[in-house]
Amino acid sequence: MQNPYLPYPVSINQVITETEDRNLKTYKFAFLNSGDEDRFAYHAGQFAELSVTGKGEIPIGIASSPTEKGFVMFTVNKVGLVSSHLHNMRVGDVMGIRGPLGNWYPWDILEGKNIVIIGGGFAFTTLRSSIIYMLEPANRSKFKDIHVIYGARTPGMLLYKDELAEWEKRDDINMHITVDATDDPDWKYNVGFVPTITEQKAPNADDDTYAIVCGPPIMIKFTQPVLDDLGYKHDQIIMSLENRMKCGIGICGHCNIGKEFVCKDGPVFTLAQLNHMPKEY
């Protein structure tokens, strides 16, 4: 068994500046050793520790889909020590990836269901992974209707703009992109906060409809009552937590909430599970 603390060596293949403030960059990595890509087999919803030599490790959600081969992708917000060093790295630089870590969205339960993806800001990363996974031709028939409600502060703060435009053109996914505000006369999508757009566009829940919600705490706080009103039971609302963590494998105790280690038992929980946990997230 591979030592869980040992990262796989990777090189940076591509860097994409996503947002107008230049604080969000997407990195595509290639594994340096043959066989490592297969060993790093992951599911949509998992995360990895990105390891910058001499600086440290940070947990980041995997933004690529397991159906995308030849690279693994992450989108990183520049907030502090490690993420700032990563933002200064260039194509060809070598670093490490440790994982895949944590649980994932419950695809065995989600198959055969209507899926409502609700995302805000840069928490859209594992949601992109999920959308690509569900839209894969071999997978699309496994899911019923797919709705995506995704919001950012301004048009320039949206991630993955080219893909959003592509998904907008498809008739097998219902896109509801929104921004808090814009003075762009050419903006052709919604204006309004994510909870408001959810109220307007999300389908009422039946037993076959699940919502996956990822975003800043304020978005989640105001989206949850909307989903309650639409009839979503709390085991039909799936969330991913971003607690501070270190080891990523349920040993160090940095991220635990009560008995649950967010890194190992999570980061994905249903709202029904979160309701039974201390409010430390």
User: Contact residues for ligand FAD (CB under 6 A)?
Assistant: 47, 58-61, 75-77, 79-83, 122, 125, 242-245, 267
Residue type, 182: T
In the complex with ligand FAD, the residue whose CB is nearer, 135 or 268, is 268
Helical packing angle, 161-169 and 125-135, nearest 10°: 40
| β pairing state of 237-240 and 256-257 | unpaired
In the complex with ligand FAD, the residue whose CB is nearer, 195 or 267, is 267
In the complex with ligand FAD, the residue whose CB is nearer, 79 or 91, is 79
In the complex with ligand FAD, the residue whose CB is nearer, 47 or 232, is 47
**Cα 27 from chain centroid (whole Å):** 14
Contact in structure between 248 and 102 (CB atoms under 8 Å): yes
In the complex with ligand FAD, the residue whose CB is nearer, 188 or 244, is 244
The first and second tokens of residue 10, run together, are: 């990777």
In the complex with ligand FAD, the residue whose CB is nearer, 194 or 245, is 245
- Closest contact distance (angstroms) between CB of 52 and ligand FAD is 9
- Closest contact distance (angstroms) between CB of 39 and ligand FAD is 20
Report the distance separating Cα 123 and Cα 172, nearest Å: 23
Closest C-alpha among 171, 176, 202, 173 to residue 189: 176
- Closest contact distance (angstroms) between CB of 127 and ligand FAD is 10
Exposed, middle or buried by CB within 10 Å (0-12, 13-18, 19+), for 189?
Answer: middle
CB contact burial 100-135 (16+ within 10 A = b; e otherwise):
bbbbbbebeebeebbbbbbbbbbbbbbbbbbbbbbb
- Closest contact distance (angstroms) between CB of 112 and ligand FAD is 27
Residue type, 29: F
- Closest contact distance (angstroms) between CB of 89 and ligand FAD is 13
Residue 204, Cβ neighbours under 10 Å: how many?
9
Q: At 180, give phi and psi (nearest 5°).
A: -65, -40
3-state SS class at 214: strand
- Closest contact distance (angstroms) between CB of 215 and ligand FAD is 12
- Closest contact distance (angstroms) between CB of 267 and ligand FAD is 4
In the complex with ligand FAD, the residue whose CB is nearer, 232 or 269, is 269
